[in-house]
Structure 1
Amino acid sequence: MDYISTRDPHATPQAFTDILLGGLSPDGGLYMPAVYPTISPELLDEWRALLAAEGYAALAAEVVKLFVDDIPPAIVEKLTAQAYTTEKFASEEIVPVTELEDGLWLAHLSEGPTAAFKDMAMQLLGELFEFELTRRGEEINILGATSGDTGSSAEYAMRGRDNIRVFMLTPGGRMTPFQQAQMFGLDDPNIFNIALDGVFDDCQDVVKEVNGDAPFKAKYRIGAVNSINWARLLAQTVYYISSYIKVTETNDEQVSFCVPTGNFGDICAGHIAKQMGLPIDRLIVATNENDVLHEFFTTGEYRPRSAAETHATSSPSMDISKASNFERFIFDVTGRDAKVTGKLFGAKVKEGGFNLDDFGGTVGGDDVRARISEEFGFLSGKSTHADRVATIKDTHERNGVLIDPHTADGVFVARGVADQVTTPIVVLETALPVKFADTIVEAIGEAPAIPERFAGIMDAERHVADLPNDAKAVQAFIVDAIENTDV
């Protein structure tokens, strides 16, 4: 399996383990498989039997093998078995799926060590990184940005691992107290938390700027765990497959997925699964007040917003106005035209964004609209604070289920588009309610129960460095940490 950059017109092939450690392409693009492997009905039947007999880790191994040919198959099986265990996940199923109400299901992705769906990919990423670095005798310095959940998931997956340091940028004061406690309470010598004076998009921009400094990136072995890293999306395709299997009895049935998203990573994995042939009907984008993606899918205009225009909301992990993974989707929409993709996400985005009409003669505005809706199956909706609070309250009272604010955005949007969808809708859970206690109290009048595994987390001493919104300051911090810590 070869990988290519979304901005490389020559489609220069790269190996999986090279892009695993490299993250962002040197040309600023994102890596994609040169071709998508195919999920045939026969293969899906095999996976049904495998999931029932051997569980999630075994299914994950078979999916990963389709995309990875430079790690021995037996090693892939070992790594997935180590990633998805009952020691790390609260459910033996890893990803249980339950019916919320008629036609609406929840895929529970928050059974991992940090109670967020990011654990699903990060636990595997930690295993892959440690294996490949040991095999090469190298170190890596992971630089990431988080709006709430990626950071803690990455740190819990990488803490204590050989040959790895983690530098995680957070938007100063923008995460919930529980999210901050999860990250800043860690006191591992290879974990470094940085609170940046800005919003998540500023953190993401700094990560991209540092990665764009090729000499610095090479000298200090900078890698990525954000969803710009292809391995994250690969791991996430697995739970689309497992959820589909659990909701259906035969491969003749289709299922739709509604995904709370700001960075287009979680739902991009669904797009990949659909392109592989998984019988997905609709992929429904659920946004909060930061509705850049909803605006695109309803008007055809992609207009990233400034930090000043990015709202601080009660579903903070989606407070994002520049959707990094959106480039991967547009790459496919334009027929994998790297020149057009590079222009759109280079010059056009810098000028304020682009419209479907800007695709020009490559695909054609009207044709692009039709492909996005009919071939790729996308719908979208938007949820506000009032919507999510009311949805949390209603779901708790009527269904006996307590959901977090992001999942509430997904449930609200799924209910809103149900009359446009003829197949069961699976809402992908984002996190456990305990991470967003203030909003839960507002919705139901009492705080969510704290799972036993998180007892005392709010009392830990905080370890975090405050830095200005400046890539050079972050680079200086990284250099100092590398020179003064061994891993």
Structure 2
Amino acid sequence: MLYLSTRAASGKAAERKRFCEILLEGLAPDGGLYLPETYPQVNAATLEQWRKLPYADLAFEILSLYIDDIPAADLKAICRKTYTAEVFGTKEIVPLRPLEAGLYLQALSNGPTLAFKDMAMQLLGNLFEYELARRGEELNILGATSGDTGSAAEYAMRGKKGVRVFMTSPKGRMSPFQQAQMFSLQDANIHNIAIEGVFDDCQDIVKAVSNDLEFKRRYKIGTVNSINWARLMAQVVYYFSGYFQATAASTGSARTGIQKVSFTVPSGNFGNVCAGHVARMMGLPIDRLVVATNENDVLDEFFRTGVYRVRGSADTHETSSPSMDISKASNFERFVFDLLGRDGEKIRSLFHHELGRQGSFDLSTDAAFDAAAGRYGFVSGKSTHDDRIDTILDTYMRFDTIIDTHTADGVKVARQHMQAGVPMIVLETALPIKFAETIEEAIGIPPPRPEKFDGIEDLPKRVKILPANAAAIQRYIADNVH
């Protein structure tokens, strides 16, 4: 399996790379994002063979379709080391539970940091450690977080040999619990950097540093954000697991392999839902992929109008679902690459030139835009703070279930797109304790807190405050790499 950049010129076969190369590289040298040359295909017979596999073995089967430069026995061992009941709380790893008729929640937040990012980050940490040991090298990870990626990455990488983490986050824009999870870590290989700006500034810095090829090579810079293909690839697995669980509970055509399901995904950076797109391209019978946004509705605007219009820092709203306070969706480029027939030169024109020049591009008159809702099955919706409060309260009162603010965005939008006979799965984003203030506003009581996190907000903090400037981050990295 070879990988190409979304901005690669056609016919340049020399630019194709294998998995372990892009694992450590992150962003492509031309500024694009890596995708496989083709998506491996699965059929109904394969789905039935995979249906009853334990999650770790399902992960191995899917990942082995994309990774051919790690021996199969080693890859299987990595998957089994990663996805255990001890780490994720249940033997199902991502259990599905019904909320109401036809609507399910898929629990993705039982990992070490109580957020869905653990599902991929725990694997990524083990892959990094394996490959770096094999090469005898080190890696300095530069990341950006709006809330959950940072803690998931740091908990996955703390103590890992040959790995340092430099994690940027928007100063004051995360919940107190999220900040405490990250800033309380005292490990020598973990560096937290609070940026005086918003998440998109953090993300721009990561891309700018990654595009400085001399600095990137000198300091061996890698990424853990979902611009790293390995993150997104790992997330593909739980779409298959959710499908198997939902169709096992269905009747009629469930066992024929043709029963379809839909997924609603709270989305800011488009990574989580892009994994659903990949699963669908592989042949998983997904009917609709529903993109749920908060007040920062760049993605909803695109799927309604065909216009992709990024916002600046001043126009990025601070909301009660802060992990989605994003106005520049990095992974969106991967989907548009597929949408436009994998034309790398056109992608470069759109994402480098048009976005750089006018901050937007318009595909509303392009025939491909109709395919977004047709061939690719995308629809969208928006949720506000009042919607979140109402949905959290309704879910608690009717179903005795407390959901976090981002999952509430998903549930609200999912109900607008449900279809008779098609199970709708909402991907849970995080446990409610991470957003306790809003939960208490909604239901009048604080959400339950896992015992291991008692008093976390009172622990000593270790964080460096820096301006939203790539050069400042580069200086800090250089000063802290020994």
Over 3 Å counting, the alpha-carbon distance change for 1:348 and 1:356 in structure 2 is: same
Matched, 1:396 2:396: yes
Task: Verify the 8 A CA contact 2:264 2:425 in the aligned structure 1.
Answer: yes
Residues 417-456 of structure 1: pairs in structure 2 closer than 5 A: 417-418=417-418, 423-456=422-455
* Deviation (angstroms), 1:458: 1.9
Out of 251, 257, 260, the residue aligned to residue 263 of structure 2 is 257
Show the counterpart of 1:48: 51
* Deviation, structure 1 residue 71: 0.1
The residue aligned with 1:333 is: 339
In the other structure, the counterpart of 1:414 is 414
2:252 maps to none
1:214 is matched with: 213
Alignment partners' CA distance in 2, 1:375 and 1:388? 31
Q: Unmatched 5+ residue regions in structure 1?
A: 358-364
Amino acid aligned to 2:360 = G
Unpaired segments ≥5 residues, structure 2: 249-254
Q: How far apart are residue 143 of structure 1 and its match?
A: 0.1
Task: Name the residue aligned to 2:5.
Answer: 5
Distance 2:456 2:56 in 1: 29
Deviates more, 1:85-94 or 1:136-145: 85-94
- Residue pairs, 1:309-388, within 5 angstroms: 309-350=315-356, 351-357=358-364, 365-388=365-388
Match of 2:292 in 1: 286
1:362 corresponds in structure 2 to none
In structure 2, what is the Cα distance between the partners aligned to 1:454 and 1:35? 43
Q: Distance between the aligned counterparts of 2:78 and 2:173, measured in 1?
A: 34
Structure 1, residues 130-168: CA drift from partner, whole Å, max 9, x if none? 000000000000000000000000000000000000000
Distance of 2:417 and 2:80 partners within structure 1: 38
Q: What is the SS of the residue equivalent to 2:85?
A: coil
| Separation of aligned partners in 1, 2:52 and 2:266 | 30
Deviates more, 1:228-237 or 1:248-257: 248-257
What residue number does 2:110 align with? 111
Distance 2:176 2:143 in 1: 20
Give the count of matched residue pairs.
Answer: 471
Matches within 5 A, 1:64-213: 64-213=63-212
SS of the counterpart of 1:67? coil
Shift of 1:382: 0.1
Q: Secondary structure at the match of 2:88?
A: coil
Partners of 1:454 and 1:427 in 2: CA distance: 26
How does 1:441-480 map onto structure 2 within 5 Å? 441-480=440-479
For 1:141, what is the secondary structure of its paired residue? Answer: strand
Amino acid in structure 1 at the alignment position of 2:285: P
Q: Which amino acid aligns with 2:4?
A: I
CA distance in 2 between partners of 1:119 and 1:376 (Å): 27
1:357-389 deviation per Cα after TM superposition (whole angstroms, max 9, x unaligned)? 5xxxxxxx3521221111000000000000011
Measure how far apart 1:40 and its partner are.
1.1
- Counterpart of 1:371 in structure 2: which amino acid? A
Per the normalisation by structure 2, the TM-score is 0.97
Structure 2 residue aligned with 1:360: none
CA distance in structure 2 between the aligned counterparts of 1:128 and 1:232, rounded to whole angstroms:
11
- SS of the aligned residue for 1:193 comes to strand
Once residues 126 and 42 of structure 1 are traced to their aligned partners in structure 2, the CA distance between those partners, rounded to angstroms, is 32
* Residue 31, structure 1, aligned to residue 25, structure 2: no
CA deviation after TM superposition for structure 1 residue 399, in Å:
1.2
Alpha-carbon offset, residue 278 of structure 1: 0.2
Structure 1 position 416, deviation (Å)? 1.8
Q: Could you state the TM-score of these two structures normalised by the residue count of structure 1?
A: 0.96
SS at match of 1:426: strand
4+ long deviations beyond 2 Å: none
